[in-house]
Structure 1
Amino acid sequence: MAKGTVKWFDPKKGFGFVINADGQDVFVHYTSIDGDGFRCLRSGQVVEYEEYSSDKGLQGKGVQILDLKPAPEPVKTRPVTVKKSPSGNRRARK
């Protein structure tokens, strides 16, 4: 089994890349992640997987998450106030 760090993973597209010990990109599809339900990886997570070479390059299967990273901080936004214009239409003001 190889170990690597998640470079990026797009949950909408269902794939991403892990960087292996040699610094090479390893393609990972969501179906290759062990577990039930929604399977996703986060950047920076440490994973263990079986690495194999295909005609498209290095790929990983049997991916197991070894290091759970905390959820990212929520984005902080400013409150928006809504004021009525003289014509009665509502307009958002910053």
Structure 2
Amino acid sequence: MTRGRVKWFNEVKGYGFIETESGEEVFFHFSKIEMEGYKSLPPGTPVELEYIDGEMGYMATLVKKSADGEQRAQAVHAAVPHRKNLLQRLLGK
């Protein structure tokens, strides 16, 4: 497997890019994340991935957090306020 870090991820559209250790940018869709309960990964999360060189560039076929990135990603995921709570605070409710 190749190692890299999440460069960015759009939670609304469900896709993002990973930069590999060798510098390639690889597209990934949330459906390729192999972790129960995860539909996104925050930027900077260390990952391991498998990818192909498709018609439109590199595309991930499998993405999972690196063992060394597990604790960091859980901490970031827990620190992000839930959308409902955020919306309530923004609306003053």
Q: Which residue number corresponds to residue 5 of structure 1?
A: 5
SS at structure 2 position matched to 1:37: coil
In structure 2, how many angstroms separate the alpha carbons of the residues matched to 1:35 and 1:56?
26
Q: So what's the TM-score if we normalise by structure 2?
A: 0.70
Note if 1:41 corresponds to 2:11.
no
Q: Please, which runs of 5 or more residues in structure 1 have no aligned partner? A: 75-94
- Cα offset for 1:21? 1.7
Deviation string, structure 1 residues 46-84 (Cα, Å, up to 9, x no partner)? 00011211001001122111213332577xxxxxxxxxx
Aligned counterpart, 1:53: 53
Mapped partners of 1:45, 1:38: distance in 2: 13
Which structure has more helix as a fraction of its residues?
2
Q: CA RMSD in A?
A: 1.7
| Mapped partners of 1:38, 1:21: distance in 2 | 23
**Which structure shows the higher strand fraction?**
1
Paired with 1:38 and 1:45, the residues of 2 have a C-alpha distance of 13
Which letter does structure 2 place at the counterpart of 1:44? G
**Larger gyration radius, structure 1 or structure 2:** 1
Q: TM-score, normalised by structure 1?
A: 0.70
Runs of 4+ in 1 over 6 A off after TM superposition: none
Q: Deviations over 1:19-59 (max 9, x none)?
A: 01221210010011012334211100000011211001001
